[in-house]
């Protein structure tokens, strides 16, 4: 599929799965390097719904024990961020005195990461690491305040769908990444 229509927008193929899966391999290697020989068992937090495919790929490659939990939040309406993060599903595990690895599909403005890091600090997490499939550095508003520890791929500040990323809930199931075709 080279083009796809979702609602009222057309998207064209941007990054094939076979290309960004190598980025996921590299990030998994970095995580393994940092956590493989530690006695501590970190908690992987899958940020629903978008990071589900990325989290599954990362988990398959982990060479260390971990716990898995999820959190559902929302900060988008259509194709733009609202700037307001809404927690849609409560956290189901205790993170007090634990290392948390937040796994996200995309970090753009950073408002979601700001809300999540504050939330996990309030819950007593010992350490917070952020792992993202895609990072839009030019859109990131929290430079010097929030560190993105593991980045699979930097991309330009354009709207993308596929592999968990959606446009009004459509497109998450696409294997490849598609970009708005203007």
Contact 149, 129 (CB under 8 A): yes
- Per annotation, catalytic residue among 37, 108, 168, 176: 108
State the Cα–Cα distance between residues 126 and 115, nearest whole angstrom: 17
* 28: nearest Cα among 175, 176, 150: 150
State the Cα–Cα distance between residues 165 and 11, nearest whole angstrom: 13
Cα-based distances in Å from 167 to 20, 76, 97, 154: 20, 9, 37, 20
Contact 27, 152 (CB under 8 A): yes
Rounded CA Rg of the chain:
16
Q: 149 catalytic, yes or no?
A: no
Catalytic residues: 108
């Amino acid at each position: 599929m080279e083009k796809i229509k979702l609602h009222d927008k057309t998207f064209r193929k941007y990054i094939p799965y076979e290309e960004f899966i190598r980025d996921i391999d590299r990030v998994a290697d970095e995580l393994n390097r940092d956590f493989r020989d530690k006695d501590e068992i970190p908690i992987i937090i899958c940020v629903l719904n978008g990071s589900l495919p990325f989290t599954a790929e990362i988990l398959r490659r982990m060479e260390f024990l971990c716990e898995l939990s999820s959190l559902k939040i929302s900060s988008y309406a259509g194709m733009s961020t609202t700037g307001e993060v809404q927690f849609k599903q409560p956290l189901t595990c205790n993170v007090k005195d634990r290392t948390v690895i937040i796994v996200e599909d995309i970090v753009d403005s950073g408002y979601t990461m700001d809300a999540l890091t504050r939330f996990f600090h309030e819950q007593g997490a010992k350490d917070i690491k952020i792992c993202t499939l895609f990072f839009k550095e030019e859109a990131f508003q929290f430079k010097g305040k929030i560190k993105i520890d593991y980045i699979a791929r930097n991309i330009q500040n354009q709207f993308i769908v596929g592999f968990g990323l959606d446009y009004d809930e459509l497109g998450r199931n696409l294997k490849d990444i598609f970009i708005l075709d203007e």
